[in-house]
Amino acid sequence: MGCRVAVVGGTGVVGEEMLNVLRDRKFPLDELRVFASPKSAGRKVKCGKKQATVEEIRDGSFKGVQIALLAVDKELAKKIAPKAAAEGAVVIDNSSSFRMDKDVPLVVPEINPRKAFDHKGIIANPNCSTAIMLMAVYPVYKLAGVRRIVAATYQAVSGAGRKAMDELPAQLAEVMKGGKPKPEAFPHRIAFNIIPRIGSFDSAGYTTEEVKMQNETRKIIGDPRIKVTTTCVRIPVMRAHSIAANIETEKKVTAEQVREALASAPGVDLEPLKDVYPMPLDASGKYNVLVGRIREDASQENGIDLFVSGDQLLKGAALNAVQIAELLVQEGLHG
C-alpha cells in the first residue's frame, strides 16, 4: 500500500534527512508534498523517483495527506501539528512540543512500537540524545530492570541546526589563522571547546535538554520509577551524539550478559572488546547506534557502564520518524 506523505521543513537539515531516509528505505510513496518557509517556496525537491515543488502552508494544505513528518521548531509545530491532524493527517512531530502530552505517544519503534497506534492525530519523536541512549539502555532494562541512570552526553553541533553546522568549520578555520571568532549559534565559541549547557536553565540548575532526557526516558520505557540525572554537553563534532551511561540495575548482571543482550538488540551494533569502541566519526551516517565500553561498575554491586554513539540526524531524528511512519503503513495506518 502506498502513502501520501508531507514533509514539513523539508529544506532544513532534519527535513532533508527525512527525504533521504524515505528514499533509501524505499518508503511506499504514492505522493510526496514538501512544505517550507516562503523563501524556499518554488524549489524542486527529489525523493527517489518522486519530485515535489516546495510549498507554503495554507488552509487545506494537509487535506488528502495521510502522514505528515514535521521537522520544524517547537513554536511552529504547536501551530502546524493540530492543523494537519484536523485536516486528516497523522502527524509525526520531531519537536519537543508534544512529547510529554499525556494524549500523545512518544515512540521509539525498537522499544514501544504499539504506542504509535494510541495517537489522536499526533505522534511525538523523542529528543535525539534520549533516543540514542535508550537504544542501549532498553535491552539492559529488559534483562535486569533499571533503577537509576546517570548520563553525560557529548552532543554534536547538528543538534542546533544548519547555522551551527556552518559555524563549527568556520570557527575552526578562523582560530587556526589566529583569529577570535564571535559565537552566533552558541553562547560561547565551539571551536576547540566544549559547552556544558544545551538549552536554558531551570531553577534547579538543569537545562531543558537534561530535563527532556529525564522525563522522556520514563515515558518511552513506561516505568515512572526510573531515576535519571544527566549532564548535556555540546562538543565540536559535526553530526553524531555520544552518551556515557551508568546504569544501576535491579538485578545483578555481568558485563558479558549485557553484551549478549545488546548483541541481539535491533538497531544496535555492538563494538568488540579491545581497542574498538563507539565514536561519533564512525556513527555518522549509520542507521544503527554503536555501543561499547561495557563494564561492571566498580563502585556499586548492581551497576553497568557503557558508551553509545549514534547519528543525531538519523536515529536521533529523521530515521526514527520514518520508522514510525513505516509502522503505521504496515498496519494500514490504524493498527
pLDDT at 171 over 90: yes
Is the pLDDT reported for residue 335 higher than 60? no
In the chain, the percentage of residues whose pLDDT exceeds 90 is: 95
Fold of 3-126+317-330: Rossmann fold (3.40.50)
210 against 274, higher pLDDT: 210
Q: Which helix (H) or strand (E) holds 185?
A: none
Domain ranges in the chain? 3-126+317-330, 130-312
pLDDT over threshold 90, residue 244: yes
pLDDT digits (tens, 9 = 90+) for 129-147: 999 999 999 999 999 999 9
pLDDT digits (tens, 9 = 90+) for 52-69: 999 999 999 999 999 999
Based on the residue annotation, tell me whether 128 is a catalytic residue of this protein: yes
How far, in Å, are 12, 53, 57, 71, 241 from residue 37 at the CA level?
10, 12, 8, 12, 28
Selection from 267, 221, 211, 230 nearest residue 106 by Cα: 221
| 1 pLDDT above the threshold of 80 | no
- Provide the pLDDT for residue 281: 97
CATH number (3.40.50.850, 3.50.50.60, 3.30.360.10, 3.40.50.300) of 130-312 reads 3.30.360.10
- Asked if the model's pLDDT at residue 106 lies above 80, the reply is yes
Residue 193, pLDDT > 80, answer yes
> What average pLDDT does this structure show over 92-116?
98
What number of CA atoms fall less than 13 Å from residue 278's CA on the CB side?
29
d(CA 90, CA 71): 14
Asked if pLDDT for residue 274 goes beyond 80, the answer is no
Distance between CA atoms of 81 and 307, rounded to whole angstroms?
Answer: 35
pLDDT of residue 78: 97
Written as nine digits, the cell of 218 is: 520514563
What's the pLDDT score for residue 2?
Answer: 82
Helix (H) or strand (E) holding 262: helix 255-263
Mean model confidence pLDDT for the chain: 96
Neighbours of 207 (CB within 10 A): 18
Structure confidence by residue, pLDDT tens digits, 221-241 = 999 999 999 999 999 999 999
pLDDT of residue 334: 59
pTM of this structure: 0.96
Gap between the Cα atoms of 23 and 210, Å rounded: 33
**Catalytic pick among 3, 47, 232, 241:** 241
Instruction: Determine the pLDDT at residue 49.
Output: 87
Of residues 103, 163, 157, 110, the one with CA closest to residue 319: 110
CA distances, 30 to each of 27, 40, 43, 55, 68 (Å): 9, 23, 20, 18, 14
| Active-site residue, 3 included | no
Average pLDDT over residues 299-309: 97
- State the pLDDT at residue 98: 98
Asked if residue 219 has pLDDT above 70, the reply is yes
Q: What is the pLDDT of residue 273?
A: 75
Active site residue: 3, 47, 128, 232, which one?
Answer: 128
Residue-level pLDDT at 175: 97
